Structure 1
């Protein structure tokens, strides 16, 4: 029997040695180690207690226990590093074998109270790395009513050195990964802030819709009222939030933004409210969370309508009580921030359907600001286009001054479902396609936008048909008329006469040239123009 135990433990030593080289993640390494120790030592539970030097406390990052509820309770448990057998082991640097824990005055009862279990016996040994003690490993309650032997303790001691080094390496690796992630996040934030600074002038508006938005922004900035910014994707909701922050009394404080739809619930909770070290797998240090990091400033929650029901309840507590409870904590922490939210959903409808809490909705929507889609403020398109062209041309080192009239008319007539963001992307694409041209033309615009240029929101298009104009296919003349659609002027941002004429002429020339297989002389003759006049028009509209 003894030889079988020795063989099993030798196999375990070999497996652990392999694991120490193959597993470098704490979340992967520690559960493997303590599960193997529990089985090899026939114990009810094994725990690694890591030392938090800054607070001189033990915490349980991982626990192996036959009862999963016990492991869950210990996950957030902390106690002073001077208490109990663990405190004795790390203070003296010596291992312990206690056969009757309950009658030993050195026993710390807090852990038993947390788990609801009674520790009968245990063995424990300190975990020492090259930098000093990092914690203690405890093996509790030998199965079958037995106590641990001296051989059990010696086996645990033999393991402890390798375990400590592996844990320390894994911890350092995790810290390096977290530092890298933080740096990447900071770089991303700095890049986004820089891009936002450069894009602030995109908030242009000459019509009544944007004038109302600017007025509401001024009102919101002058108070601490909770604002809900509503609008389709790409309308500039974060720009509005940053504008309110910079014009308000908290402008000197941080502006921290979070997209609530971009991460799972548990990670979102940690990012917003923070967590304590050891609160969950991989939580190797305290994190303050967005609300505490933004003290004295503004928190902007984008896509707030995508929050789960439980996250909505926790956000409501922040708003109503001005406090957060970090993961792994039971005591709330007061926060001092202004909350701005944004959504592209119809939250009022979601409330009626039970998809969004009504009490939270009325808390965040105290002062709503509705951003109009670009199709409802077409008068701003030429200004936006010109600014996007200038910026893209500078970035791509090209000498481009803008679009020809016909191309600009097409851009103004398009519905832009992706709003300002889609317009910016289209302009950047057009600039990228340009070679030596100083003006961008129709051929630089995406075909899907060119084909949709005559679509209007409030009025149907009309067709201009010249029934007397023959079309030419090859060398033969057919009686099929040429049909060209143009946008209709209306009071809601439709085309002007000049724009409509430009679109008509460009499309008319394009269609006629297509019917003539690109023969300029033949097309000019059919249109009643000279070849020189047609060539001038082709150049004017950038059709070749």
Structure 2
């Protein structure tokens, strides 16, 4: 046996037996080593972790190997040769949350390129902020802490909610998850109503059935009607072999009365256990639609049983930084390029912006910036032009109101200007000027004198 090979085997055996949690990740983010100390603290066997690729993204499912691996992923700047000491919240297989510090050391080759990253895990008693951690690393840890906390409290870890109004939404979702009553989501376009409906579905007893989203505005009426019938008759095509569990109707204000009648008939003729759960969404309050007779009375009372008001992004400023980090880490998933956070000043720009399209717009801005940035941080230069243009437009402020002058003064200025133009056009021939203005020569003289218009002495 080769002597150096034997030494490597003995060293690996010794490192593996250490109680200090150690792991190794290569430059492509594949986990190569995961010792017994890691197995003990995270409760996952090495054979299930080794060979997995990790992404710089927060996950909170203790039953998924991907979640564990992602929580071990180094920040992107480590692969550029920067040592980092990062606060983290690890999730064990049994569902426990462990606050810790992970110390990442890049191991360089002879050309100063990072070939491996050594990670050591140091559990701590309480979460704390590290002076050595960057702002983006702290935000990553805060996002993990919040998502784990929401998973423990409400079971909805994919909904970012530090804002009080969003905390109320989570409490309503938790109550709704124990029933099969219709739920209506009220809020502006882009506030994430469909995402909330999906989160509710996947935390309910219907989670193994499919979620069927239909946009009442975009689908042609005939196609919409046929699809609704198929959903309630459970007669979907082969592409949807599972039984439908939820029918989600977005832009319900565009739902025709005959389709409303089909839905009502289904609920009146079938028991609750046999009925597909109905969820609806709209940006216009249901009461207004009812008063405008866009909704049948019975349909209005059916879908207004439980209404959840979803706040606009500008009303949840406490969530904005975490939402931006959440969308950014979603972009990291399954990508070779990884971006850790935002350069100084970028999040401040986000707070100054109005976000008229809400979460949809924020997600699109992050996606565009992720694709544009060549760095490990999103900078102002990588932000899309439409955001910067919108910021500049807001900084200009509203148009100034026109200056209002006394009416008589305005009329005199207009009259004086017209007379002067007529005189110039006729080379100060007062007879011709009077004819252009529709005045007599005598009246023109009186107005010239009253307005103080100077006359050409040679005319």
Measured against the shorter chain, the TM-score band is 0.3 to 0.5
Structure 1-normalised TM-score?
A: 0.40
- Higher normalized contact order (CA 8 Å, seq sep 6+, divided by chain length): 2
